[in-house]
Amino acid sequence: MSEHNVILRNNNGTVDKYIIVLSLACAGSFLQIIGVSWDVTSHLMRNSETFFTPSHTLLYSGVGLLLVTAIMGAKLMLTRKIDNMKPVIISFKLLIIGSSIAIVAGPSDYAWHKTFGIDGLLSPTHFVLATGIIINSVAVIIGLKRMLMQVQSRFQKTIIKFLSIPAFAAWWLTMIWYVYLFVLPLSDGSHFNFNLNPVTESIIAITLLPIIDAVALLIAVKTLNMKWSATMITLLVVLINAFTNIIPSNHLVPFLPMYIVLALVGFLYDCIVQRASSRATRFNVEKSFIISSALVGSVFYILGYPLLPITFAEPLGFSFNSMSELHDNFMVTLPGILLFTVPYGALMGSIGADVYFRVTKALNFKDHVEKTLGSRSSGEPI
């Protein structure tokens, strides 16, 4: 057993403190992405364009929680209570960096609103805020993943896995929204237009989103190694999108039942992987993940409803002026666009999974070589 495992097993008081910090960080990460998603829907519905909105309150409540966790983490590091927890310290450092960026972005965004009024999605302050948000979500994932690898208590492992479900869902959505920042043509504000070329937006969307969907779920399932994790995470992502992007607008609700069905993708993912795992061969397991990743990637366009169709509005030859018009155009163009997005998304999802496994094998081989060389140089048996 490694030195880190011994320390984390025997120093339960410190481990419990770290789990508490991660619990708060998980809640903050979850709240901030819900706030972001709801905020964009509010803008599309032409609601109040001031800084003080319910969605902003939710967003910055999450940012505030993450700031608290960053301070708690900094205190633990300064008091040397986690000096020997090197595998998990990096998450504290990332939380401090991400929270600092987000806190700077908050007042800056308020000043931007006061100076320029209605702003676009890709305003400088929103970009800075989104960068802080994604760093925070990554910090939570790294912390939970490394703690899960280190702790010995079954109860602590259960808590960490329970926290990981919303943490991975928030991380997945945060990465999607980081791409949305560049692909949604919603960045034409009162004074500045930060929209990219419509064709460029579409290319970025169809390339990155299916890969993100596939790889995010793959990493989550591989990390948690528990039954029905893909089902739970996918269901949570679908529900967040439903409650923040679809339900607030009555015009979009007719598609809600079909959208909720997307949760079955996670269920099928689990079924495919669990069936392959029962055969206990590495090739079958990797193949099952690639097939499952293709399945997840194939539905990226529907998963992006109702916002992603806005990206394709101009290339498909229709305009976006209201939420009702958005739904009508989406339904009219859906059969044709699925003929392209389903196979293409499946291809990108499978490529993403394949690259993940290749990179993982390369890193594992590198670690093995370094450990082998280290053992030889120290005179230890290999």
Lowest mean pLDDT among 18-22, 81-85, 257-261, 330-334: 81-85
Residues 6+ apart with CB under 8 A from 375: 381, 382
Give me the pLDDT at residue 176, please. 95
Give me the pLDDT at residue 211, please. 97
Give me the pLDDT at residue 80, please. 62
Give me the pLDDT at residue 110, please. 77
Give me the pLDDT at residue 290, please. 94
pLDDT of 24 > 80? The answer is yes
* Amino acid type, 295: L
- Give phi and psi for 380, each to the nearest 5: -80, 150
Give me the pLDDT at residue 353, please. 95
Over residues 34-53, the pLDDT tens digits come to 988 888 777 676 555 555 67
All structural domains of the chain with their residue ranges: 1-196, 207-382
pLDDT of 18 > 50? The answer is yes
Residue 4: band (very low, low, confident or very high) from pLDDT cuts 50, 70, 90: very low
In this predicted model, which residue has the larger pLDDT, 182 or 121?
Answer: 182
Over residues 231-261, the pLDDT tens digits come to 999 999 999 999 998 888 888 888 899 999 9
Percent of the chain with pLDDT over 90: 35
Lowest mean pLDDT among 165-179, 305-319, 330-344: 305-319
pLDDT of 381 > 50? The answer is no
pLDDT of 73 > 70? The answer is yes
Give me the pLDDT at residue 14, please. 66
Contact between residue 245 and residue 41 where contact means Cβ atoms under 8 Å apart: yes
Q: What is the pTM of this model?
A: 0.87
Contact between residue 65 and residue 102 where contact means Cβ atoms under 8 Å apart: no
Mean pLDDT computed over 15-39: 86
Mean pLDDT computed over 70-86: 70
Of the ranges 70-79, 288-297, 321-330, 358-367, the best mean pLDDT one: 288-297
Chain mean pLDDT for the chain? 83
What is the maximum alpha-carbon separation in the chain? 72
Mean pLDDT computed over 127-141: 91
